């Protein structure tokens, strides 16, 4: 009759446990590096809003209608992220927020915006001509709500004449413009999500 594991020598039991441990370690899926996980999260598309078709139609009429609408701005930001040029909309928004800054915080916030977006070789440098860049630098000396006015206007025009035109022809915008069929999942939805009403469109954004 078999006496089971108790009849085996202690050295055999130890070797068996060691082998089991090694196999278990090899089968474990290592966690990706934090940086790699972060990049994957940024690339993940999620549905963040529902946009009525009437609103989307307004986006076609002017860039101003698009950028002044919260849903339009999010969709346009997603498009710019796909083109690796989101610094333009980030700068425009930073300038818009700056105009609402309290006087006691203006100097500090203006310096942060300048060093991040305007200064040559800055981390998120926007495409400004040298004259506008220098004018903005001088404006910081008398810092007020209008010190980024010229630079913001230049970037608005750049996006309007360049990125906005491509956005209207992009796959993202074309999909947003298409009416959805009842019980048909939006192509931008993840699998497993509930279907979207025909009255609204999916609006993706990169986290």
CATH code, 60: 1.10.167.10
Count of the separate structural domains present in the chain: 1
Element (H, E) at 45: strand 45-51
pLDDT at 205: 44
Helix (H) or strand (E) holding 137: helix 130-139
Q: How many whole angstroms separate alpha carbon 81 and alpha carbon 41?
A: 13
Among 164, 173, 197, 187, residue whose Cα is nearest residue 68: 164
Is 152 inside any structural domain? Answer: yes
Is 22 a domain residue?
A: no
Residue 43 inside a domain? The answer is no
User: Is residue 202 in a domain?
Assistant: no
Model confidence pTM above 0.85 = no
Contact yes or no for 176/51 (Cβ under 8 A):
yes
N residues, the chain: 207
Q: Is position 20 within any domain? A: no
In-domain check, residue 25: no
- How do the pLDDT tens digits run along the chain, 207 residues long? 445 545 555 555 455 555 555 445 444 545 545 544 444 344 334 333 567 888 999 999 999 999 999 999 999 999 999 999 999 999 999 999 999 999 999 999 999 999 999 999 999 999 999 999 999 999 999 999 999 999 999 999 999 999 999 999 999 999 998 875 444 444 444 444 443 333 345 555 444
Q: What is the rounded distance in angstroms from the CA atom of residue 127 to the CA atom of residue 119?
A: 10
């Amino acid at each position: 009759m078999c006496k089971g594991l108790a009849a085996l020598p202690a050295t055999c039991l130890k070797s068996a446990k060691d082998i089991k441990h090694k196999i278990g370690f090899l089968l474990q899926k290592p966690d990706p590096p934090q940086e790699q996980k972060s990049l994957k999260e940024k690339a993940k598309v999620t549905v963040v809003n529902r946009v009525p078709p009437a609103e989307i139609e307004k986006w076609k009429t002017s860039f101003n209608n698009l950028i002044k609408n919260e849903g339009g701005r999010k969709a346009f930001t997603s498009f710019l992220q796909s083109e690796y040029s989101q610094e333009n909309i980030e700068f425009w928004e930073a300038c818009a927020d700056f105009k609402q800054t309290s006087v006691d915080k203006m100097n500090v916030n203006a310096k942060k915006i300048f060093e991040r977006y305007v200064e040559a070789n800055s981390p998120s440098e926007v495409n400004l001509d040298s004259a506008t860049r220098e004018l903005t630098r001088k404006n910081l000396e008398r810092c007020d709500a209008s010190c980024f006015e010229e630079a913001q206007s230049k970037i608005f025009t750049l996006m309007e004449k360049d990125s906005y035109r491509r956005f209207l022809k992009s796959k993202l915008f074309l999909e947003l413009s298409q009416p959805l069929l009842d019980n048909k999942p939006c192509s931008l939805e993840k699998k497993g999500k509930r279907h979207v009403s025909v009255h609204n469109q999916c609006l993706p954004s990169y986290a």
